[in-house]
């Protein structure tokens, strides 16, 4: 779903002009918020094909810090770098970028997620429960 | 080693597996737990009932579309029981290691 959303967001300007971009961005933001809210409930998680929700305390603090810093860095790069980018690198650049990013997410999204999950679970627990939790999928 | 340190419900390996799986998650679908511990639905249901009776596991039932689903979650009581049980196991290992070291010296 996010692969298609990213493709739609990046390709929209090439096909419909700059006018639709804010609408598409709003729709993608709404989709991300809905996804995050659904993941918090068992029913929503089941609808999204998630049989579990990992306990926050099981996520390695180091991993959480690195993930937060990466997100902030990407957002800052987007905000600071966007004005310096030429409007069109080449014809249909947005469509090509959207297709590459979207296809990457569709094809490797699951394995990327699994890899991130296993990294996130490698915590250094100090309460004697080390190695007990292996509930992410 | 005081035998009272061990939780009798968690001495059973399948119940220990179920509780150990649930300690890392806020909730888990019954089907996911069943696959993870490699049990039949009826066998898992029986063990979950035992854990539920002791207040270690909370069972929620509901529907997703028309399909019935069951979710399991570890209660704070269950988490505390597991922590005590694991601590008792650690103590057994440590005491055995100390005894072995005393024999060697």
Q: What is the pLDDT of residues B42-84, one digit of tens each?
A: 999 999 999 999 999 999 999 988 889 999 999 999 999 999 9
The answer to ipTM > 0.90 is no
**CATH label, B7-104, candidates 1.10.10.10, 3.30.70.1520, 2.170.190.11, 2.40.50.100:** 1.10.10.10
B30 CB neighbours in chain A (<8 A) are none
Q: Which of A40, A123, A132, A136 to mutate to test the interface with B (most CBs of B within 10 A)?
A: A132
Q: Which residue has the higher pLDDT, A91 or B97?
A: B97
Nearest by CB to residue A129, choosing from B26, B69, B83, is: B83
Decide if B24 and A136 are in contact by the 8 Å CB cutoff: yes
Decide if A46 and B29 are in contact by the 8 Å CB cutoff: yes
Q: Check residue B26 and give its pLDDT.
A: 93
Can you give the pLDDT of all 137 residues of chain A as single tens digits? 778 888 887 787 778 877 777 788 888 888 889 988 998 899 998 888 889 888 888 888 888 888 889 888 988 887 787 667 666 667 778 888 888 888 888 888 878 877 887 777 655 554 445 445 444 44
Decide if A132 and B82 are in contact by the 8 Å CB cutoff: yes
Q: Check residue A96 and give its pLDDT.
A: 86
d(CA A13, CA A19): 8
The C-alpha of B103 sits at a distance from chain A's nearest C-alpha, in angstroms, of 27
Examine the pLDDT at B97 and tell me if it is beyond 60. Answer: yes
Q: Check residue A57 and give its pLDDT.
A: 81
Q: Long-range CB contacts (< 8 A, 24+ apart) of A104-110? A: A104/A3, A105/A2, A105/A3, A105/A6, A106/A3, A106/A4, A109/A2, A109/A3
């Amino acid at each position: 779903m996010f692969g298609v959303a990213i493709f739609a967001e990046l390709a929209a300007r090439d096909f419909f002009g700059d006018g639709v971009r804010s609408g598409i961005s709003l729709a993608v933001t709404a989709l991300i918020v809905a996804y995050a809210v659904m993941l918090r409930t068992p029913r929503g998680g089941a609808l999204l094909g998630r049989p579990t929700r990992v306990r926050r305390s099981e996520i390695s603090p180091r991993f959480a810090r690195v993930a937060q810093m990466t997100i902030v860095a990407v957002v800052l790069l987007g905000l600071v770098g966007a004005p310096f980018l030429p409007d069109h690198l080449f014809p249909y650049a947005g469509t090509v970028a959207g297709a590459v990013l979207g296809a990457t997410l569709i094809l490797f999204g699951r394995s990327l997620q699994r890899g991130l999950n296993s990294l996130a679970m490698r915590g250094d627990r100090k309460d004697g429960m080390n190695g007990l939790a292996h509930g992410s999928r | 080693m005081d035998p009272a340190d061990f939780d009798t419900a968690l001495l059973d390996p399948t119940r220990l597996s179920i509780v150990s799986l649930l300690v890392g998650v806020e909730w888990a679908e019954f089907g996911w737990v069943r696959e993870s511990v490699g049990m039949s639905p009826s066998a898992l249901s029986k063990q979950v009932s035992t854990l539920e009776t002791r207040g270690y596991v909370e069972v929620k039932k509901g529907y997703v579309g028309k399909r019935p689903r069951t979710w399991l979650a570890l209660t704070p009581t269950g988490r505390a029981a597991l922590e005590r049980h694991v601590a008792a196991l650690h103590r057994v290992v440590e005491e055995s290691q100390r005894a072995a070291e005393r024999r060697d010296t």
